[in-house]
C-alpha cells in the first residue's frame, strides 16, 4: 500500500491505495468522483480523461506508482457544475454533443486541456487533438463536437458571450420540432448523470461483486464443473452454477413465426449440457470484492469434451455438420418471397441481366460503456434487476421462466445507459444477475471488461447474399431474384425476424414488379446475433444497392439517374407489395443532385496518379416499428399542483427518449399552456411504467409517441369543460369524480406478411439517400472518406438537434461498417481498437443533411422514426464510391486495404 497527497479540483486528498491501482479507480472509488468514466479500460477510448499537472492523460491506464505525490488533477467535476456551467459544457449542450453521455466527460476534460494549450484551435487542430488523445464517441459522428469546441473557443476569445450559447426557447413556447437540448443534457455535461457502473459504487455494503467463469472454446459438451477450490478462496460467498438456477435455466427466444423449426429455449442461463459459443457463462463467483471474485473464477475447474466448431453459416450448412442444437436443423427458418409473375421467363427475355454475390460482416456495436448491471430483492420480496436493457418488459418475459419466477415476482429497470445501438435488445447479463441474487439472497453487481463486452454480447449477424436484376435497355428493373443466408450464431432469439428482413429490404426503394427469392437463418458457433442499428437493412440493402451501380455501369447510365428511373412513385409497391405511405424519393434525388454534381467535378479535378477520388450513392429504406399490429402503451396523470406526470417505458440507448417523450407530450398538451418543466417523466421501470414495447426498429417515436398522444388527449377530454371549452383544475376533477390518471394505447395499422412475404408490415417508413466522397490510395488500398451527405425523409422532426445527431452518428457507423469494423477473430477483435472503431480522423468533418419532409399520416404529429435509417445504406454508397473512383469493386465487407488491392488486381 502507498499513501499519496493529491489536489483534485483544488481540494487536498490523502489517498491510501495499492501501487498498481489505476488513477481512474482511485478517483471513482476512493474519492467518489464518478464523473470520470471507464470504458475500454485499455486507454483506447478517452472516457477516463483527466488533466494531471497540466497534461491530459488517460487515467484508466495510469498506475498510482506513476502519479507524482502532490499531483494536481482536474476532473469533470472541476470544470463546471449544474448551476455554474463552463462555456465548453454550454456549447456541448447547444450542439447536442451529449447523446448517451458516457464519453462526454472525457471529451469535455480533453477540450479544456486543448483550449488551455491552444485557446483558438482550427477545426483540423481540434480533430488532431482528439485523435492524438484517443477520445472516441460512438454516438455523434464527431462533427458537432468540433462545432462545440469552436463555440467554446469563441467565448474564451471574447468573440461571444457565454449567454450566446444558451438555448433560446421560441416565443410561442413550442418544444416539438425545435432544437431544445434534451432534459438530461446538464447532468451529462457535468458528469453527474450516473450510469450503471457509477450506481454500482454506491450500493449497500453487503453487495456481492460478481465474476464470470466463461467458456474458452466455441462448441463442447460440459462434463463437469468443480467449484470446490474456488469456494474456499478469500472473500468468496458462493459460486453459482446451473444446479443453483431454480427454473428452466433457459432464456426463451420467444419464437416469432410458427414456421421456425426451433423451440426458442436453446440458450442456457448458465451452461449445463453444452457450450455453444466462446464466452458462454458457466458459473458466477459472488465475493466481497471484485478482485476476490476474479481470482476465484480462475480456480473453477471445468471439464469439457470438444466438439466441431462451426464459425460461419457455410460451415454449419456443410453436409457433415452435426446439429448444434440436437433435434433442430442448423438452418431452422426458411422465409421466401414471391411477388408478381414468375421471374424465370422475364430473365430469359430481358435486355440486360446482372448478378452479384455479397457479404456483410459481423459488425460489433462497440459502445464506450461495457455491459453492467445489478440486482436485489426489495422489502416485499420482489427481485429487481437493473441493466442497460432496451426492452424491459420483453426481457422480463424472456428470463422469468428460466429463473423460476412468475412475472409479478420480477421487475426490470433500465439504468442510465451508454449507447447500445441494439445489442441490448437481447438480454445479456439480466438472467445472470437474477440467478446470482436468487442463489445468494444478497444484492449483486456485475460489470464486463471490454473483452467480455465483445465475446458475451451479440453482434450484427452476417449475411451472404446473391441478387440478380433483369432490366430493359432504359434501365427499368423488370424482375429481381434473391438468395440470402443469415448467420445468427447459436441462439435463435429474433433470428427469424431478422432473416425476414431480407425479403422486406433487398431491393427496397425501387418499384420492382416481379420478385422471387428465399432465405435461411442458420445456427453457428460464432457470437450470437443481436439487433444492431438498421436491423437487417444494412445486410439486405448493401447487395441491392451495390448491384444497382453495377447495373448502371453495364447500361452506361449514371447511378443516380438509374435510381431516379426506378424509385418509388405513385402506383409503386414495396418488395412486400405495400403502397408507400409517402412518395418522397424523387424529391430527395432532386435535392441531392447539386451536391452530387459538385462532388463528381471535385473528384475528377483532384484525383492523381496514386490517389483516386470517387463519388457513390445509395438509397436506404426502413420501417418504423415491429412487424404487424405493433402496440405501445403510455400513461398520464394530472397532479394536484397542475403539473402532469408521464409514465412510459421508452428505453434510451442515448437516442433521446427523454426529449422524445417530453416533446410529444408537450405538443399534445399545448392547450393547457404547460411549460416543459411542468411535465415530469417517470420512465423505464416495469414496476411503475406500462409496456411501451422495446426500443428497437426505430419504433419508439412512432409507437410510444402515438400512445403518449392518445393518453394526453384522454386527459384533455377529461379536463375539458363542455360548456366553455376551458379546462378543469385537479381539485375540480376530484370534486366531480373525474379520473386524473389515463392509460393510452396505440396499435399501428399494419399486418403480418403472408408465406410469400407479402403484406403491409409497417405503417411508417424512413427514407435516406446517401452520398459518399472517397479517396483511395491505389498503392496501399487504403480508403479515406472525405465527405458524406444524407438526404433524409423521416417525417416531421420531433427535435431537430437529436435527429441531426442520429444521422451524423449513423453515417460514422456506416463508415466503420464499410471499411474497418468486424468481430470475426475472437482474440484480435476483442478490443475496441482491434475491432476497427472509427476515430475522429476516420470520419470526415464534412457531413451534410438535407431534410425532405413529408408528414406521416400515421405518425405522431407527422413524425416517423429516425435511428435505423442512417445506417441502412451509407456503407453501400462508400463501396460504390470506391468503385467509381478506382474501379475496385469490393463485395465482401469490410473493405480493408488488402481487399481493395485484390479488387484492383481483379
Query: Catalytic site residues?
Result: 868
Rounded CA separation 596/905 (Å): 28
Strand-pair partners of 680: 645
For residue 361 the three cell numbers come to 460482416
For residue 901 the three cell numbers come to 488491392
| Max CA pair span of the chain | 84
DSSP secondary structure of 118-153: -SS--HHHHHHHHHHTT---SSS-SHHHHHHHHHHH
Rounded CA separation 895/882 (Å): 9
Residue 334 φ/ψ, nearest 5 degrees: -130, 75
Rounded CA separation 209/200 (Å): 10
Strand-pair partners of 466: 357, 483
Question: Dihedral, CA atoms, 133, 134, 139, 143, nearest 10 degrees?
Answer: 50
The answer for residues whose C-beta is within 8 angstroms of residue 274's C-beta and 6 or more apart is 219, 220, 221, 222, 268, 307
Q: Residue 124 to residues 132, 337, 532, 665, 839: CA-CA distances in angstroms?
A: 12, 49, 31, 41, 14
Rounded CA separation 751/763 (Å): 9
Strands (E), 378-489: 383-387, 410-414, 444-447, 463-471, 477-487
Rounded CA separation 50/75 (Å): 5
Rounded CA separation 836/363 (Å): 9
Rounded CA separation 566/472 (Å): 12
DSSP class of residue 170 equals -
For residue 442 the three cell numbers come to 444478497
Nearest Cα residue to 235 out of 287, 183, 187: 287
Q: Residue 694 to residues 256, 392, 632, 651, 753: CA-CA distances in angstroms?
A: 15, 7, 9, 7, 21
Positive or negative torsion for Cα 304, 308, 314, 318? negative
Q: Which residue, chain included where needed, has cell 433560446?
A: 168
Strand-pair partners of 516: 338, 481
How deeply is 291 buried, as exposed, middle or buried, from its count of CB atoms within 10 A (0-12, 13-18, 19+)? Answer: middle
DSSP secondary structure of 604-668: HHH--SSEEEEEEEEEEEEESSSTTT-EEEEEEEE-TTS-EEEEE----SSS-HHHHHHHHHHHH
Q: Long-range contacts of range 287-290, CB-CB < 8 Å, 24 or more positions apart?
A: 287/208, 287/209, 287/211, 287/233, 287/235, 287/236, 287/237, 288/208, 288/209, 288/235, 288/237, 289/209, 289/235, 290/209, 290/211
Would you call 717 helix, strand, or coil by DSSP? helix
DSSP class of residue 680 equals E
Rounded CA separation 154/147 (Å): 11
- Three-state SS string over 250-298 comes to EECCCCCCCCCCCCCCCEECCCCCEECCCCCEEEEEEECCHHHHHHHHC
Residue 295 CB neighbours (<10 A)? 18
Amino acid at each position: 500500500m502507498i499513501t499519496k497527497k493529491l489536489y483534485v479540483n483544488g481540494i487536498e486528498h490523502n489517498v491510501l491505495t495499492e501501487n498498481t491501482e489505476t488513477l481512474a479507480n482511485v478517483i471513482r472509488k476512493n474519492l467518489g468522483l464518478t464523473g470520470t468514466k471507464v470504458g475500454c479500460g485499455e486507454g483506447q477510448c478517452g472516457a477516463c480523461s483527466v488533466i494531471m499537472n497540466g497534461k491530459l492523460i488517460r487515467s484508466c491506464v495510469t498506475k498510482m506508482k506513476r502519479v507524482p505525490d502532490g499531483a494536481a488533477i482536474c476532473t469533470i467535476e472541476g470544470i463546471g457544475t449544474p448551476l455554474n456551467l463552463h462555456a465548453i459544457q454550454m456549447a456541448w449542450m447547444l450542439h447536442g454533443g451529449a447523446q448517451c453521455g458516457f464519453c462526454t466527460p472525457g471529451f469535455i476534460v480533453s477540450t479544456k486541456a486543448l483550449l488551455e494549450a491552444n485557446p483558438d484551435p482550427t477545426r483540423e487542430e481540434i480533430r488532431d487533438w482528439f485523435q492524438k488523445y484517443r477520445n472516441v464517441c460512438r454516438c455523434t459522428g464527431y462533427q458537432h463536437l468540433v462545432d462545440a469546441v469552436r463555440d467554446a473557443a469563441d467565448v474564451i476569445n471574447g468573440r461571444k458571450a457565454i449567454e450566446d450559447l444558451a438555448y433560446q426557447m421560441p416565443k410561442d413556447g413550442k418544444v416539438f420540432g425545435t432544437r431544445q437540448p434534451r432534459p438530461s443534457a446538464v447532468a451529462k455535461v457535468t458528469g453527474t448523470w450516473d450510469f450503471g457502473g457509477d450506481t454500482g459504487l454506491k450500493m449497500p455494503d453487503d453487495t456481492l461483486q460478481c465474476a464470470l467463469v466463461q467458456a474458452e472454446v466455441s462448441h463442447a459438451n460440459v462434463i463437469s464443473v468443480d467449484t470446490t477450490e474456488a469456494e474456499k478462496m478469500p472473500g468468496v460467498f458462493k459460486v453459482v452454477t446451473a444446479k443453483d438456477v431454480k427454473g428452466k435455466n433457459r432464456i426463451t427466444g420467444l419464437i416469432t413465426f410458427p414456421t421456425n423449426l426451433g423451440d426458442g429455449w436453446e440458450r442456457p442461463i448458465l451452461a449445463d449440457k453444452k457450450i455453444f459459443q466462446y464466452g458462454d457463462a458457466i458459473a458466477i463467483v459472488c465475493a466481497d470484492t471484485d478482485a476476490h471474485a476474479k481470482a476465484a473464477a480462475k480456480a473453477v475447474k471445468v471439464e469439457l469434451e470438444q466438439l466441431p466448431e462451426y464459425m460461419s453459416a457455410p460451415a454449419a450448412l456443410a453436409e457433415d455438420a452435426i446439429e448444434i442444437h440436437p433435434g433442430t436443423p442448423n438452418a431452422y427458418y426458411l422465409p421466401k418471397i414471391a411477388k408478381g409473375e414468375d421471374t424465370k421467363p422475364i430473365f430469359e427475355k430481358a435486355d440486360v441481366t446482372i448478378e452479384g454475390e455479397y457479404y456483410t460482416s459481423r459488425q460489433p456495436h462497440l459502445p464506450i460503456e461495457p455491459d453492467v448491471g445489478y440486482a436485489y430483492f426489495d422489502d416485499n420480496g420482489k427481485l429487481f434487476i437493473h441493466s442497460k436493457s432496451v426492452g424491459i418488459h420483453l426481457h422480463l418475459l424472456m428470463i422469468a421462466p428460466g429463473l423460476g419466477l412468475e412475472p409479478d415476482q420480477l421487475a426490470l429497470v433500465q439504468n442510465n445507459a451508454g449507447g447500445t445501438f441494439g445489442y441490448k435488445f437481447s438480454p445479456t447479463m439480466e438472467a445472470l444477475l437474477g440467478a446470482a441474487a436468487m442463489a445468494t439472497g444478497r444484492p449483486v453487481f456485475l460489470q464486463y471488461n471490454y473483452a467480455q463486452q465483445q465475446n458475451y454480447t451479440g453482434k450484427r449477424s452476417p449475411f451472404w447474399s446473391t441478387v440478380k436484376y433483369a432490366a430493359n435497355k432504359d434501365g427499368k428493373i423488370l424482375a429481381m431474384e434473391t438468395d440470402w443466408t443469415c448467420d445468427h450464431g447459436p441462439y435463435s432469439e429474433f433470428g427469424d425476424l431478422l432473416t425476414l428482413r431480407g425479403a422486406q429490404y433487398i431491393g427496397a426503394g425501387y418499384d420492382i414488379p416481379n420478385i422471387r427469392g428465399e432465405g435461411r437463418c442458420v445456427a453457428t458457433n460464432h457470437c450470437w446475433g443481436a439487433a444492431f442499428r438498421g436491423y437487417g437493412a444494412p445486410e439486405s440493402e448493401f447487395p441491392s444497392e451495390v448491384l444497382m451501380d453495377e447495373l448502371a455501369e453495364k447500361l452506361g447510365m449514371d447511378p443516380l439517374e438509374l435510381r431516379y428511373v426506378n424509385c418509388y412513385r405513385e402506383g409503386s409497391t414495396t418488395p412486400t407489395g405495400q403502397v408507400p405511405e409517402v412518395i418522397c424519393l424523387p424529391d430527395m434525388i432532386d435535392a441531392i443532385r447539386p451536391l452530387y454534381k459538385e462532388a463528381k467535378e471535385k473528384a475528377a479535378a483532384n484525383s492523381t496518379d496514386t490517389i483516386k477520388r470517387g463519388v457513390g450513392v445509395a438509397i436506404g429504406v426502413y420501417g418504423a416499428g415491429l412487424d404487424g399490429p405493433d402496440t405501445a402503451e403510455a400513461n398520464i396523470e394530472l397532479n394536484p399542483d397542475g403539473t402532469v406526470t408521464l409514465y412510459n417505458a421508452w428505453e434510451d440507448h442515448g437516442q433521446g427518449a427523454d426529449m422524445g417523450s417530453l416533446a410529444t407530450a408537450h405538443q399534445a398538451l399545448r392547450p393547457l399552456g404547460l411549460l416543459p418543466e411542468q411535465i415530469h417523466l417517470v420512465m423505464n421501470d416495469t414496476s411503475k411504467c406500462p409496456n411501451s414495447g422495446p426500443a428497437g426498429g426505430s419504433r419508439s417515436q412512432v409507437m410510444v409517441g402515438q400512445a403518449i398522444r392518445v393518453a394526453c388527449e384522454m386527459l384533455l377530454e377529461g379536463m375539458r369543460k363542455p360548456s366553455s371549452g376551458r379546462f378543469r383544475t385537479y381539485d375540480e376533477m376530484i370534486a366531480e369524480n373525474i379520473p386524473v390518471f389515463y392509460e393510452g394505447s396505440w396499435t399501428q395499422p399494419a399486418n403480418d406478411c403472408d408465406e410469400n412475404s407479402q403484406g403491409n408490415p409497417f405503417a411508417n417508413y424512413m427514407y435516406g439517400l446517401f452520398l459518399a466522397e472517397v479517396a483511395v490510395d491505389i498503392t496501399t488500398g487504403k480508403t479515406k472518406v472525405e465527405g458524406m451527405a444524407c438526404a433524409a425523409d423521416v417525417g416531421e422532426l420531433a427535435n431537430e438537434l437529436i435527429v441531426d445527431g442520429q444521422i451524423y452518428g449513423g453515417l460514422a457507423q456506416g463508415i466503420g461498417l464499410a471499411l474497418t469494423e468486424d468481430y470475426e477473430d475472437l482474440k484480435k477483435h476483442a478490443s475496441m481498437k482491434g475491432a476497427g472503431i472509427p476515430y475522429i480522423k476516420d470520419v470526415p468533418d464534412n457531413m451534410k443533411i438535407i431534410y425532405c419532409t413529408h408528414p406521416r399520416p400515421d405518425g405522431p404529429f407527422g413524425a416517423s422514426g429516425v435511428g435505423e435509417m442512417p445506417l441502412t445504406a451509407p456503407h453501400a454508397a462508400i463501396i460504390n464510391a470506391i468503385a467509381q473512383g478506382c474501379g475496385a469493386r469490393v463485395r465482401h465487407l469490410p473493405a480493408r486495404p488488402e481487399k481493395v488491392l485484390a479488387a484492383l488486381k481483379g
